[in-house]
Chain A
Amino acid sequence: MKHIVYMSRAVRPMTDPDLQELLDQSRHDNVRQGITGILFYSHGNIAQLFEGPAEQVDPLFDRICRDGRHSHVRKLVDAPIEARSFPSWSMAFHPLEPSGFAALEGFLLPHQLPPLPSSLTIADALLVQLVQLAVFGPDPTQPFQHRHADPPGALDA
């Protein structure tokens, strides 16, 4: 068993149908391959933790790297684990029309994320919290306007 955490940027902002397609496709593939984990998306920022057997996790990451829908893939962690920390695969984001997503399996609103399981080491839990913070910002109830989009110099303003 191993897990991988990465962050990336969507090539273009993902619409509700894009997100739903990604959710359906990933859930379908991941269930079949025994991959579990969580994906965060907000305003073009993507972060994902996924875990499973190494022989499934590594090829999945290769496919993710080649996926044309995102770029700037930064692998943060690639390490063996003793046990799964996520019972299923799910995805958290702010849809424009949340009503249509509420009933979908595997969908979570960013501020409704369950607490991180204690099976993660504190270093890994800290990492997940930091990428969550980077994707959703300090207040996950609000869609987070990212600083990356700002022109340089506006950061200190």
Chain B
Amino acid sequence: MPAPHFEQLLRRLQAGVATLEGPELRYGFVNEQMQALVGTNAEGRTLAEQPGLLPAALLEVLPKVFAAGTPYAARACACGSAADSPNVRHFDLVVDPYDGEAGQPAGLLLLAVDVSEQEAARQRAHELALTTRQLDARLRVLTETAPLFTYTMSPQGEVTYVSPQWYRFTGQPDTADLTAIWPLLVHPDDRLRVLFESETARRTGTGWNYEYRLRRYDGQYRWMLSRALPEVHPPDQPVAWHGALTEVHLQRELSEARRRGEAELRFLADSIPELVWTTSAEGLVEYYNHYTKSYSGLTTEELGPTGWVGLLYPEEQAAAARRWVQSVASGEDFEGEYRLRRADGVYRWHTIRARRLNDGSGPRWFGAASDVEEQHRLRQVLQTQYDELARAHHNLDTFVYAASHDLRQPTHNLRGLFEELRRSVRFTDPEQALMLRMVDTALTHLDSTLADLTATVQTQRQQQEPVEILDLALGLEEILLGLRPQIVHQGASVQIDVQEAPGLLYSRANFRSVVHNLVSNALKFAHPLRPPQVLLRNYLTDDGQPVLEVRDNGLGMRIDDPHNPAFRLFARQHTQVEGTGVGLYLVQRIVTSQGGHIEVDSTPGIGTTFRVFWAAPLGMRE
């Protein structure tokens, strides 16, 4: 092969070739590639004159190589002005000394192969490795500090890695045989299930997700959630399963408790013989208890979210629906009495109540309906009886009033006729005169009885009279003025003491009737051996109730005698004293109709004290 041809090949070689001749290292042959490194027109010049881009280290080494005569190679030498500039290139440099024809060192053959690409790739790989190492470290820190345990399992079921938390949790030494030990730490009741599920997942190449109890270092079993996914590089089979274990003991206990609580509440609701339901915030029923279904004979689906209203008596449905919408809108309690249709078509009265519960999980309504049919029926019976009684009572009053009123006229006539008779007929027999007097007395008695009866009925009708603040001193004086003839006649002394409670809220007419009756009684039942003394004292009890005390020194009476109750109509204590037996009855009726009551102390032969408690005791007033 001719030399020029060979030289041409050398010139075009994809590697730099140059010869450095003589100890001064003068460029001999420089091919194209090498020109890029040492510059053009280098031939004939020394290395010191034209170092080109060759690195300083090499320039120092080359004379030594020439002197020593041993080859030298440098890999990936950075050549360029600045080693870190972007256009720096890397070359593998090989320096080979060659001898001259006489065997003396003649020069150096310099070979430069551009390895910039490879070097850049190597750099990248290095950087990647660094990043990977950092990421790996970060991942490790994360997995080993996170409150979950990570693990890796081979397709054969060997545990190849668990994070340190697992050792800390289980108390196992680092040297433990993971594959062998972990099933033993699973609760015996869960072990077979867990092994089966894990094996099934590994066989089918899927992930898993199950909970089991794992034994902690202290021997306690704690609920764990285990989830894993296979690492797959298609089309191959999974190479490993990576997963995490999380302790879910508290959540599980909480949800267990919640489930239990809910089940218990539901059981309770289903056990009670009342209609119970719950609704959403919108007022739409979500749950009816068993009793509702058996009472109505309808299923939850048939009842629907608002079906309860259809159970109501048809005329009451619209009003109840309006009321419910209003409750839902405002949050107010729903309450009412409604008739609810039973499965057999019978309507029974129920009290329906629903209240809104506000808690963290949003508002809900709880409703219940209790059967009040019996109470309702009883109330109706009572109402009917009450109405009948009121009517009868009214009729009786009217009758008494009419009768006494109607009888007074004939009595007057009778008296007139009798007077007339006495004037025109001459009686000679003294017996007859006595009889005449007796007839006269009887007529007077009849007349006053009728008058009293009329008064009683009238008082009855005056019960609704307006009340006013009465000035007691004035009122009592007025009444005594009306009784003045008797007081003077009997030589009685009447004392008034109203300093403690000078005013009284009462109806004037009623007050007059009460006091008039009591004072005239005191005068009427005076002791025959002494002039009557009457004390009228109005005072306040400890709890501020006004009381009028009427004390006399008259005949007195036996209070505990059941045959002579003091306040019964026509009941008379002293038949020898004239009277109609209406007075005390009248007083009693007035006082009790206003909520008050009367107490009596009496000793026969000594005197009687009446105490009129005008108002109802505290705490019993409406």
Interface residues of A (CB under 8 A from B): 7, 76-77, 79, 121-127, 129-131, 133-134, 138, 147, 152-153, 155-156
Contacts and interface: CB of A to CB of B under 8 A. Distances in A.
Contacts of B175: none
A62 B305 CA distance: 21
B50 interface: no
Interface in B297-325: 304-310, 317-318, 321, 324-325
Contacts of B282: 7, 130-131, 133-134
B283 interface: yes
Contacts of A152: 360-362
B306 A79 contact: no
B304 to A, nearest CB: 6
B352 to A, nearest CB: 14
B181 interface: no
Interface string B78-117: 0000000000000000000000000000000000000000
17 contacts: A76-B305, A77-B305, A121-B310, A122-B309, A123-B304, A123-B310, A127-B304, A127-B306, A129-B321, A130-B282, A130-B283, A130-B305, A130-B324, A130-B328, A133-B329, A152-B360, A152-B361
A65 B44 CA distance: 90
B574 to A, nearest CB: 72
B304 A126 contact: no
Given A133-B283, A138-B330, 20 more contacts: A77-B305, A123-B304, A123-B306, A123-B308, A123-B317, A124-B306, A126-B309, A126-B321, A126-B324, A127-B306, A129-B321, A129-B325, A130-B325, A133-B325, A133-B328, A134-B282, A152-B360, A152-B362, A153-B360, A155-B363
Given A152-B361, A155-B362, A130 B318 contact: no
Contacts of A122: 309-310, 317-318, 321
A134 B324 CA distance: 13
A79 B324 CA distance: 22
A79 B299 CA distance: 14
A150 B361 CA distance: 12
A110 B404 CA distance: 72
Interface string B281-295: 111100000000000
B284 A138 contact: no
Nearest to A122: B317
B358 interface: yes
B362 A130 contact: no
Interface in B312-352: 317-318, 321, 324-325, 328-330
A103 B358 CA distance: 42
A15 to B, nearest CB: 25
B165 to A, nearest CB: 32
A74 to B, nearest CB: 9
Nearest to B283: A130
B359 to A, nearest CB: 8
Contact of B304 (A77, A131, A134): A77
Given A122-B310, A133-B328, A76 B321 contact: no
B581 to A, nearest CB: 63
